[in-house]
Amino acid sequence: MQQTHTCRQCNVDKPLSEFYKDKSRAGGYDYWCKACRIRRNSLYVKTPVGKEKHNVACRRLYKTEEYKAARMIHRRTNKSKSRKRVQDLVQRKKLQPVSTSECVYCGEQAAYWHHWAGYEKEHWEDVIPLCRRCDRKAHKIAS
């Protein structure tokens, strides 16, 4: 039999999987269910005090060296820039969405735009639609 707990906010009896673990509470679980806690937190962040605390926490995170290093690596990669370029082309309607395309190899519904010529700047727009299986095969061949 599955154990349950009653949320003190919505007064609904729910399984323990619907509650966050909290060692400081009696029973080891939060008093509020996940849905009520998320709702409360999203409302709190919209208040002036909540906005300020959220901004302070973000500024603290952005100042860490690990965050800066990871962000710079991500910004510099041609792979991420080439993907962004394809997203921009789709948004500007110069390239159809991949979901409306067929895989060029097997004819199934495409799932990815594949940069077949590589991720260098001159090849950012050289893409073909591939399904998941054919994309996996293409990346195995390339490596």
Same domain, 98 and 54: no
Total domains, the chain: 2
Is it the case that residue 13 has pLDDT exceeding 90?
yes
Q: Is residue 106 part of a domain?
A: yes
Query: Which of 61, 87, 106 delimits the end of a domain?
Result: 61
pLDDT in the model for residue 28: 92
Q: Are residues 16 and 42 in the same domain?
A: yes
- For 111, the token pair is 């799932």
Asked if residue 10 and residue 47 are part of one domain, the reply reads: yes
- The SS3 assignment for 122 reads helix
Is a pLDDT exceeding 70 seen at residue 137? yes
b/e string for 62-96 if b means 16 or more Cβ within 10 A?
eeeeeeeeeeeeeeeeeeeebbebbeebeeeeebe
Residue-level pLDDT at 75: 65
- The pLDDT score that the predictor gives to residue 29 is 93
Residue 19 in any domain: the answer is yes
Phi, psi (deg, nearest 5) at residue 115: -80, 85
| Same domain, residue pair 123 and 95 | yes
pLDDT tens for 55-111 read 999 899 889 988 888 877 766 788 888 888 999 999 999 999 998 999 999 999 999
The verdict on 43 and 87 lying in the same domain is no
What range defines the domain where residue 108 resides?
77-142
End-to-end CA distance of the chain, in Å? Answer: 49
Residue 127 has a CB neighbour count (10 Å cut-off) of 20
Two tokens at 117? 């010529």
Q: pLDDT tens digits for 112-132?
A: 999 888 888 888 889 999 999
Residue 104 falls inside a structural domain: yes
Q: What is the mean pLDDT of the chain?
A: 89
Q: Is residue 69 part of a domain?
A: no
Domain identity same for 11 and 50:
yes
CA distance 79 to 87: 13
Q: Is residue 81 part of a domain?
A: yes
CA distance 77 to 68: 15
In this structure, the answer to whether residues 133 and 82 fall within a common structural domain is yes
Residue 31 banded pLDDT, cuts 50, 70, 90: very high
